Amino acid sequence: MPEGVSEERLMLNILSIFGMVLYFNFARVAVTQMTGCQYDQAFKARLVEHITDFSLTGLGVSKEEESR
């Protein structure tokens, strides 16, 4: 996270990421129908990678910063 992020903004970011995780868990049937993928280990790993990449991009974290 960039320096100077307010506590409120930090909490909203955390809740947004938590919301994505909950969505993909509770919407399994819809996600399966829309993607054609079953919730096997490989698909769950892709979801984790997607949520991580999506969240880090949204937070403005570059790939260089992520690898530190």
pLDDT tens-digit series, residues 10-41: 899 899 999 999 998 899 999 999 999 999 99
Q: Is residue 20 part of a domain?
A: no
Q: Is residue 53 part of a domain?
A: yes
Q: Residue 53 is part of which domain span?
A: 40-68
Q: Is residue 57 part of a domain?
A: yes
Distances (CA, A) of 66 to 13, 16, 39, 50, 54: 17, 19, 27, 14, 12
Q: What is the DSSP letter of 3?
A: T
Express as a percent the part of the chain with pLDDT over 70.
87
- Give pLDDT, residue 62: 66
pTM of the full structure: 0.71
| Token pair in block for residue 21 | 């995780």
Q: How many domains does the chain have?
A: 1
- 51, pLDDT greater than 80: yes
**Rounded CA separation 56/53 (Å):** 5
**Rounded CA separation 15/54 (Å):** 14
